[in-house]
Structure formats: structure tokens, C-alpha cells
Amino acid sequence: MNGPKKRIAILISGRGSNMKSLIEAARRPDFPAEIAVVISNRPEAAGIAWAKDQGIPTLAMDHKHYSDRAHFESQLQSILSASRIDLVCLAGFMRMLTPAFVESWRGRMLNIHPSLLPAFKGLDTHERALAAGVKFTGCTVHLVTPEMDEGPILGQAVVPVLTSDSPDSLAARVLAAEHRLYPGILELFAAGLITINGHKSSSASDVNGLSPQFSPQV
């Protein structure tokens, strides 16, 4: 790896299962990023306790204790700046961020969504996928922009939809794919191996033969 590791802040609101996969991946000596801080807007979130037990710096910022969204985000920005954060990873962060805050992190904030964007943006993705009768769904890592689930797609993983699926069973298989996809895309992105051109991204891994389930290959 060339140069210093990128410093990552992970924002969560709950159990933080994708956070755990990022932390585990970042333990590798050759991983191009380090988890500098985990921040939750819910003090009771199970993920914040787990991260603390792993020796990761953590902070609970109860959004209910702030006068408004701008106040919350100004304090969040101060923490990110003080922590010298290079990239922000949203991992089940269930709070809408204002366009101004998102713009300040344009090109430096990642999110994972449980569908193959641009299909099934927003909530209830698995229920909607089953109702639509699609044969494949999956997950997407994308850059965050002010428009919800609209940012450039950095990578996707495909999951088959089974005739026996319920929303819960489908969600479980998609989540397993998320746990592989998110660390892989963060590794490529932090290493500078994914480039953005307008609304599209490309990766050097494209030329190495793609897996039919993961793109880029991770």
C-alpha cells in the first residue's frame, strides 16, 4: 500500500453488522484504511458497545439532545474534523442528513443499500422486490449525494430471489452479501482504485475478469 491509510468514520444507528465487517477487514495490515471512530445517533445502539469492546474510539450523539438537525450536524462535523477523517461510511445510519452536510462530504461519503440500485430506492426493499416478482436482487455501495440513493454506484452484489423466500429470508442472504461487498469496495476506493466520472465509476478490477455476483470483483 502506498501512502498513509485513510481514516474512516463509521456512522450507525443500530446493531452495526456492516460496521463489524468493515472493522474486521480493516484489521488486515495491508488494508488501505483504518477505522478511526464509530459514531451512533442512538446511545442504546448495540453496535456502539461492540465497537468499544474492540478498542475502537466511539461516540454516542443522541440526536434528541440537539436543538435541530443543523445543530446536530455542526457538532458531528466538528468531531469528524477533530478526528482527521478522510472518508465517512454510513452503516445503518437511520437519520437523514441535510443537503449542506452531504455536499461538504461529496465524493467522501459511502453508503450501502439493500437493493440493486436504481431499483427499489428507499425503505422496504425486500418486500417490494418480492412483490415485483424479480428473480434477482442484491446490494449496492454508492457515494452519498443529497438525493436519496442516487449517488454514483461503486459496486454491487447480486442475490437470487427464491420462490420460497420471505422478506426475512431474502434480507438475510442480501445482508451476507453486504458484509462481503462493503469492505471490498471500501478497500478499492480507499486505495484509489475506483475512479468517478460524472455519475459513473470504474475500477481497475474490471479488466481482471468479473465475478457474476460481485462487480467490481472484491
Q: What is the mean pLDDT of residues 173-199?
A: 95
Q: What is the mean pLDDT of residues 17-24?
A: 98
Q: What is the mean pLDDT of residues 124-148?
A: 97
What CA–CA distance (Å, rounded) separates 145 from 198? 12
Are residues 217 and 117 part of one domain? yes
Are residues 157 and 69 part of one domain? no
Chain center to CA of 51: 16
For residue 57, list its beta bridge partners.
Answer: none
Residue at which a domain ends, from 45, 70, 105: 105
Are residues 121 and 89 part of one domain? no
Are residues 77 and 136 part of one domain? no
Q: Say how many residues make up the chain.
A: 218
In whole angstroms, how large is the CA radius of gyration of the chain?
Answer: 17
Hey, what's the cell of 185? 469496495
What CA–CA distance (Å, rounded) separates 29 from 135? 39
What CA–CA distance (Å, rounded) separates 206 from 218? 10
Residue 43: how many CB atoms within 10 A of its CB?
A: 13
Q: Give the total number of structural domains in the chain.
A: 2
pLDDT value at position 34? 98
Q: What is the mean pLDDT of residues 53-65?
A: 95
Residue at which a domain ends, from 44, 77, 105: 105
Work out the angle at residue 102's Cα, subtended by the Cα atoms of residues 116 and 96, and round it to the nearest 5 degrees. Answer: 70
pLDDT value at position 216? 77
What CA–CA distance (Å, rounded) separates 22 from 187? 9
pLDDT beyond 80 at 210: no
pLDDT beyond 60 at 110: yes
Are residues 65 and 96 part of one domain? yes
Are residues 90 and 137 part of one domain? no
Q: Which residue has the cell 456502539?
A: 48
0.75 exceeded by the pTM?
yes
- Domain span holding position 40: 1-105
Q: What is the mean pLDDT of residues 106-127?
A: 97
Active site residue: 65, 113, 142, 199, which one? 113
113 is annotated as an active-site residue: yes
Are residues 69 and 126 part of one domain? no
Are residues 68 and 124 part of one domain? no
Residue 58 sits in a domain of what CATH number? Answer: 3.40.50.170
pLDDT beyond 60 at 1: no
Are residues 90 and 149 part of one domain? no
Q: What is the mean pLDDT of residues 132-158?
A: 96
pLDDT value at position 208? 45
Residue 182: how many CB atoms within 10 A of its CB?
A: 26
